[in-house]
Structure 1
């Protein structure tokens, strides 16, 4: 029987909810995601193992080594090894094997040994996948609570491809990410960017078959997954994308790797490290590796140790008080010179702050690298309530002819719907913003042609005007802000006509009633 999305999500949340007696909701992900992925691996391995046994009943005369070779050559794509081999405690490092021991002392130790054994047996796929696993310690999470979580999660249907599609499985993973983020406050912003913001950036950058997509602050990997999903939705071959990410927090990097696997994306590489201090993706000559599509939602106004003689520092070095433009410089250095494009989410301060940041903006604009500035509503993110913006860059000389020598400004700051904990962009908001982005513009910078401006204030501003404003990119300098709420004249006229007709009908009924009562003259 097919497994519904709602069913798996409810049961996974029931498992997570068992942790409420042991830790704050902000820490649930460090336990639930490793356990969920372990169950997925175990269910998949056991499903393939049963297929191997069913299809090879005549191989009883094979040695254990020969049977192992055939199984892992033709059926399995990873190994679930034994733990404590050669001892009385020997058992397979699988979910069902360890679940059978939950009443015995030392459950956390067995879980840790199993996850470490899987990492060791599959270094190319699962190295350091499960993070620090501090939660396996009895001092952090008691065996009773861990057992309750595992028992609740075991009520989730089998997580193998024969029983559950990767769309359902990946959707459940995303559901938990969002649920944890909704309930855990600012900490969630470290690894989860709201889906609608990710979708908008990916739509703008438009990844193609066989391209590379790179996120230098990848968090849970949502932007990389969104690139693959968009390509697939458009009939492309998402499996051809080369997905690359770097994340400073080891446990979060593990969350990203598990997320990508559960979405059936295997052509990826997620490295651990500080991207500004120690970029892990480099060419053989030591220079920064370059990609077709670069996306990022870096930590805002991060204090950092500025570079000393780094080739990424075009236009200068960002100040110690804020690494915003340092992330931009890294992304520019990472753009493929033929068709590289980048989209980054930043706070509005990056648009107008002076000093070293102004010098970097000047270089970026003089080199005609900035294509668009899209103003977003306030309170979209889990980590901050401030309004943010998306900056879109193109590799030198690769802008479309009509976009050269200027910057497109779009004000989408008023387009949102209030939700429980934050504002959200609707599908219509995203569509209208994309309409504005793809619009043509007249000589005065105003949108023209089919679709117009998508109902948003937008203007293409020549670089000369920005230079005259001291390289200030504040959206309000180039798009006049409306001081009072205004309504479309056509809508007002339509509403007036409806009200007038209703009033006339009411008057006619009243006059008829009065006439029946012998009272006349009111309709003159």
Structure 2
């Protein structure tokens, strides 16, 4: 049984919990609690778990005794002195109400082919589960899960080096840092080609990040632990003063959350030059200011279209970016690669220079959006789709690349457009073709996701109005 088969088997267990009203996200969290115990046993690393609360103790129990013990286990591990263990189980509680369901899941996990799972990598198995969760989630964090192929492309082109400090200020489940670590392991025979002191640096300092959502941070901690990464991974808001520790990085790879700050409030960091409620514009400021100003520090960032053309403060931030950095490449991504179908995104590649003025001379733009097939769960994005872009990106003489999707814009031309970077899209041939109409099923799913998002926003408005009314009554 390979990892994909194990992932599918674990995922099918979710059907057992439907009567308990458990969501996919709750299920993955529940699996995290259980898989951690099992994987520590398989890796012979159970010393971090206190005696009496290990996998074998769990497997031996049944019925109400099992359920009561499991709740006690979650509470105990959430107060453990081992920091990573404590963070994974912090405030943990089970959503499973039926003891027979809990028992079935534990016994099913115990009966899987863990020998082959270890051969393929337990970290890879866990990442596969996270990706499966994202593909099944129509709203929330899942809709912005960064496809692994895109992560790999960004890592490969940014090309992190041994001894460089890498960061993701919107860490999610830590996919970018996991991929960067794997990229370097592949180049150094799993770090066997480097000295012990450098191995220690790679494990404890090379990779760091911050994640706002506590449940997602829990998944990120588990992911880091299974990949033997121990760098700083904080739970908090990178756009608040709590995020000011992230600075002087060699590499930043990230896909910041979309939207505005809740209630439209301003960012609470006092070290940003420009004030706006737009999350992506604030993250962009955080990112280019957190890079070392040595002419070598670099970033690749996924950002939605509005960052490219928003006027006012948006134009000021883009101008500041192009002054401090060499914004050398923009990749216009196709629609449908994120689980919110209509989201239009781009990857900005830039290098922080030694001075703060006039560093972007021209910008190369690759249009991978127009006249492309419709991507989604039925038509997956693959590395082959990026081959032409990657060829253009790494070319020593970019101007010699003959590709209608590849265009150069001088800094002067961009300035005349009010520093808008909404550029480089070619003529759309599909507008007059009935053969290229969107998939009706995916269109319906997109509509449902948008309606759900609208309902969530209305719910937030109602809650805020209620809080306002309650405050008036109290006063």
Q: What TM-score, normalized by structure 1, do the two folds share?
A: 0.72
Change (3 A) 1:112 1:419: farther
Whether 2:49 is the aligned partner of 1:80: answer: yes
Change (3 A) 1:482 1:417: closer
CA offsets per residue over residues 260-319 of structure 1, 9 Å max, x none?
2223x233221101110143462xxxxx42211111111112235324672232xx222x
Contact 1:346 1:389 in 2 (8 A): yes
Contact 2:238 2:244 in 1 (8 A): no
- Greater gyration radius: 1
Correspondence for 1:407 among 363, 366, 377:
363
Shift of 1:12: 2.2
Correspondence for 1:311 among 268, 271, 285:
271
Correspondence for 1:93 among 53, 62, 85:
53
1:378, 1:483 → 2: CA distance?
A: 14
Q: Gapped runs of 5+ residues in structure 1? A: 46-75, 83-91, 283-287, 486-524
2:412, 2:319 → 1: CA distance?
A: 12
Change (3 A) 1:168 1:277: same
Partner of 1:133: 92
Contact 2:75 2:93 in 1 (8 A): no
Whether 2:216 is the aligned partner of 1:252: answer: yes
Give 3-state SS (helix, strand or coil) of 1:178's partner. Answer: helix
Partner of 2:351: 394
CA offsets per residue over residues 347-379 of structure 1, 9 Å max, x none?
111101111111111222233442221100011
Partner of 1:473: 421
1:4, 1:416 → 2: CA distance?
A: 33
Partner of 1:289: 247
Contact 1:187 1:383 in 2 (8 A): no
Partner of 1:203: 156
Contact 2:160 2:180 in 1 (8 A): yes
Change (3 A) 1:191 1:99: farther
Give 3-state SS (helix, strand or coil) of 1:447's partner. Answer: helix
Partner of 2:38: 39
Alignment map for 1:103-252 (pairs within 5 Å): 103=63, 105-135=64-94, 141-158=97-114, 164-165=117-118, 167-189=120-142, 192-235=145-188, 241=202, 242-252=206-216
Give 3-state SS (helix, strand or coil) of 1:279's partner. Answer: helix
Shift of 1:393: 2.1
CA offsets per residue over residues 439-481 of structure 1, 9 Å max, x none?
345xxxx731xxx25x461123221111122101112xxx362
Q: Gapped runs of 5+ residues in structure 2? A: 192-198, 431-475
Change (3 A) 1:309 1:149: closer
Change (3 A) 1:128 1:112: farther
Change (3 A) 1:155 1:415: farther
Partner of 2:332: 375
Correspondence for 2:235 among 272, 290, 304:
272
Whether 2:264 is the aligned partner of 1:301: answer: no
Q: What TM-score, normalized by structure 2, do the two folds share?
A: 0.79
Partner of 2:427: 482
Contact 2:4 2:128 in 1 (8 A): no
CA offsets per residue over residues 488-520 of structure 1, 9 Å max, x none?
xxxxxxxxxxxxxxxxxxxxxxxxxxxxxxxxx
Contact 2:288 2:325 in 1 (8 A): no
Partner of 2:11: 13
Contact 2:75 2:91 in 1 (8 A): no
Shift of 1:404: 4.9
Equivalenced residue count is 415
- Compare the two structures and name the one with the higher helix fraction: 2
Give 3-state SS (helix, strand or coil) of 2:47's partner. Answer: coil
Partner of 2:472: none
Shift of 1:19: 2.1
Shift of 1:17: 3.5
Give 3-state SS (helix, strand or coil) of 2:166's partner. Answer: strand
Change (3 A) 1:372 1:236: farther
Contact 2:144 2:339 in 1 (8 A): no
2:326, 2:65 → 1: CA distance?
A: 58
